[in-house]
Chain A
Amino acid sequence: MDELTVEIGGVRTAFMTVEPAVLDVVAARYDGFLSTAPPDWRITVGLRPEGVVDLEDVVVRSAGGLGRLAVERHDFAAILDVPARTGTLALGAVDHVAVDTFLRVTYSLALLEARALLVHAASLGHGPRSWMFPGRSGSGKTTLTRLSPDATLLSDEISIVRLGDDGAARCYGSPFWGELGEAGRNAAVPLAAVHFLRHAESHAATPLTPRQALQSLLPNVLFFAAEPALVARVLEVAGALVERVPCFALGFRPEASVWETIHGA
């Protein structure tokens, strides 16, 4: 069985399989996020005998036992054992879309254990600091990214924010891209502030209290499981984040001068 490891948000996951095509897809899709260090998670990958099935959305349900989850979509079926950090993945279609969707669900769980969240947000670095910009589709994530050619792209769509043992929050480069179709740089950059985006007539950054920030942040956290312990963990990590990092509501018009407002907040 061959093996290939990806490292996302500082958490390494090994794909183990006898199917060379699977590793070809992983190697191509996660170029820049491959690792040779020992994995934290191990996923055994095979093919789904029935191929693609008629199932529209991702379905996540308990597979019996604490932290054991079944994840299914039209193009894959998986079992994840969170406490054991193992899983099995049966691909109905051997392509990057199926693998990427599986990894987004898996990392929403794997990162939580590491006090990290997947957030529907753009994130950009300037020198030694980064900024995260959560927002729903159409809020301006890709627009802001395109207005920031001098910034280090960490993500235009799905950001990774992690609380370190030192108490600091960092944004990690993410391979989960959006409209831009470009992976972030694989780096961890201290998080200076979180700005919740909305289009406006003029630039303005309004400070948010931790409660206001939590209300804005939680709907943007990618999380698929309903297990109470896991939901409580999301709330705990998100709560710690908004208490440690300044948060703002950022109204902006599509001009690069918005960075003056961001830096001045």
Chain B
Amino acid sequence: MPDGYPVQNPRAAWRVYEGEVVIVSPEDSTLHTLNPVGTLIWEAADGRTALASIVGRVCEEFDVDRATAARDALAFVEQLCRRGLLTVLDAPPAA
């Protein structure tokens, strides 16, 4: 099970259209459009929600088994980290 707490880059601008998020990269103004599963993960990436919990939400919302959802979610988060849109915290920030 993936661990860590994904958090959006606060410099990224984004909006949701028709259930899919559109994100503008803060560094190079590149446009990214996420599918509904990616949108769920992006919207949940608040730095306080564990990735394992987000995977649980994916399984509830979409017809996918937990092992597949966990593998795909981890790959997706890593991809957004490489693009500078997400970072993954070891623990949620202190209140």
Contacts and interface: CB of A to CB of B under 8 A. Distances in A.
A218 interface: yes
A204 to B, nearest CB: 23
B18 A235 contact: no
A210 B13 contact: no
Interface stretch (A148-156, A224-232, A255-263): A224-232
Contacts of A215: 22, 31, 33
Given A211-B22, A218-B24, A231-B24, A226 B29 contact: yes
Nearest to B27: A226
Interface in B6-39: 10-15, 17-18, 20, 22, 24, 26-29, 31, 33
A51 interface: no
A67 to B, nearest CB: 15
Contacts of B20: 211
A223 interface: yes
B21 to A, nearest CB: 9
Nearest to B28: A226
Most buried by A among B13, B14, B31: B13
Nearest to B11: A228
Contacts of B26: 226, 228, 231
B18 A232 contact: no
Given A228-B10, A231-B13, A232-B13, A214 B22 contact: yes
A163 to B, nearest CB: 15
Interface residues of A, number: 16
Contacts, number: 44
A178 interface: no
Interface residues of B, number: 17
B18 A211 contact: yes
A235 B17 contact: no
A211 B33 contact: yes
Contacts of A223: 29
A39 interface: no
A254 interface: no
A210 B17 contact: yes
B60 to A, nearest CB: 24
Contacts of B11: 228
Interface in A201-260: 209-211, 214-215, 218-219, 223, 226, 228, 231-232, 234-236, 239
Nearest to B16: A211
A45 to B, nearest CB: 29
Contacts of B15: 214, 235-236, 239
Interface of B: 10-15, 17-18, 20, 22, 24, 26-29, 31, 33
Interface of A: 209-211, 214-215, 218-219, 223, 226, 228, 231-232, 234-236, 239
- Give me the 5 closest cross-chain CB pairs, A-B, nearest first: A211-B17, A232-B13, A228-B11, A235-B13, A231-B13
